């Protein structure tokens, strides 16, 4: 019988470590990590996921901010919001909840996020760093898988790892992380000719296909480590008799249950370790998102400190006259920026005045029509 890898327990350990580090940062540096999420539309599942992320932020002492946008917004509307968040000093992590409405350019949106604040790890620069074994901000789910394996003292070095699913969110980054840990990864996908051939040789099998019961007992070798990333909602009318009995409480209370991509009841006796669904990889994803946000805050803080140090070094080598000249230049640039801002404010004021005139004219027209109707 396999040992269950308890993602709930491990994620709580990680959150406790993050909480202590946040307290230290706040006390010693006056810095509180900040995460902003952008939610577009009314997708019920997305709302649940975003709320969980903000709840987790609250638990560890992060500042968090949720930006809700109507489904009718354009790509440019989202890009403007991202640009604003990129420049904010109190926000260290930015996350755009996926999926986005079909009319939104997903790639353009994700690439607009500053790589330094890309806590989902989807930006091409962060993906490139992962490829070069210079890991910066790594996608949360694959990072969570590696972390849970390490915390269970499951060695990756030299192991054959089969990954079922080649998405940019899980499969591809997971393969790169495995390479960086000196494992030998194999990626399978919908066009793979004989899936069983590849899964049977795996010391560690990672499944992220979104297909319930995809991995059967005869597809897993004895003693394999099985990581089930799949999350499939099964309603009472979709369930077989075995599932109805196994998850009886879920069906009675909620009318549905969650299962993974692995036939758990049959695979579990063959495996050495296995993750349950729910309570396995899911909680680790949120924990690693928090970890990425903390890492981003510390990286940004170090970069700012480095700039100050560099500036101090330059000032130290300047003569008094050079310092005064440099200061005059900075003051001049500051006044230029103030003038630009004042010009923009004046423009906005003129727009508001024009709108007020339009509203006043409309009100007058409505009143005139009301008077006519009364006379009639």
Catalytic residue among 15, 97, 203, 228: 97
Q: Verify whether residue 203 is a known catalytic residue.
A: no
Q: Do you find a cis peptide bond into 252, omega within 30 degrees of 0? A: no
Annotated active-site residue 70? The verdict is no
Residue carrying structure tokens 């680790």: 284
Of 6, 15, 53, 270, the active-site residue reads 53
Q: Smallest Cα–Cα separation from 148: which of 229, 55, 261, 52?
A: 229
The catalytic residue among 116, 120, 203, 261 is: 120
Assess contact for 88 and 112: CB atoms under 8 A.
no
Active site (annotated) includes residue 238: no
Active site residues: 53, 97, 120
């Amino acid at each position: 019988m396999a040992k269950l890898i308890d993602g709930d327990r491990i994620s709580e350990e990680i959150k406790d470590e993050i909480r202590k580090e946040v307290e230290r940062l706040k006390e010693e540096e006056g810095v509180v990590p900040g995460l902003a999420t952008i939610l577009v539309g009314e997708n019920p599942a997305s709302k649940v996921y975003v709320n969980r992320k903000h709840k987790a932020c609250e638990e560890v002492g992060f500042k968090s901010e949720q930006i809700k946008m109507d489904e009718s917004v354009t790509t440019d509307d989202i890009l403007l919001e991202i640009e604003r968040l990129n420049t904010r000093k109190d926000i260290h992590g930015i996350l755009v909840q996926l999926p986005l409405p079909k009319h939104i350019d997903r790639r353009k949106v994700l690439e607009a996020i500053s790589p330094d604040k890309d806590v989902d790890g989807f930006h091409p620069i962060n993906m490139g760093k992962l490829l070069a074994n210079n890991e910066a901000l790594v996608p949360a789910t694959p990072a969570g898988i590696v972390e849970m394996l390490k915390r269970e003292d499951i060695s990756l070095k030299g192991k054959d790892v089969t990954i079922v699913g080649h998405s940019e969110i899980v499969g591809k980054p997971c393969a790169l992380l495995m390479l960086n840990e000196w494992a030998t990864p194999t990626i399978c996908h919908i066009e793979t000719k004989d899936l069983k051939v590849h899964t049977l040789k795996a010391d560690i099998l990672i499944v992220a296909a979104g297909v319930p019961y995809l991995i059967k007992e005869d597809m897993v070798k004895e003693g394999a480590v099985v990581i089930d990333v799949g999350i499939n909602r099964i309603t009472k009318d979709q369930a077989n008799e075995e599932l109805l009995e196994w998850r009886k409480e879920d069906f009675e209370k909620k009318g549905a249950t969650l299962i993974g991509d692995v036939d758990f009841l049959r695979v579990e006796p063959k495996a050495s370790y296995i993750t349950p669904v729910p309570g396995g990889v899911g909680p680790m994803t949120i924990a690693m998102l928090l970890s990425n946000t903390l890492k981003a805050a510390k990286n940004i803080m170090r970069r700012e400190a480095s700039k100050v140090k560099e500036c101090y070094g330059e000032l130290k080598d300047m003569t008094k006259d050079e310092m005064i000249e440099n200061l005059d230049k900075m003051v001049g640039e500051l006044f230029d920026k103030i003038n630009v801002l004042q010009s923009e404010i004046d423009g906005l004021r003129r727009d508001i005045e024009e709108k007020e005139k339009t509203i006043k004219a409309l009100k007058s027209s409505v009143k005139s029509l009301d008077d006519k109707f009364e006379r009639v």
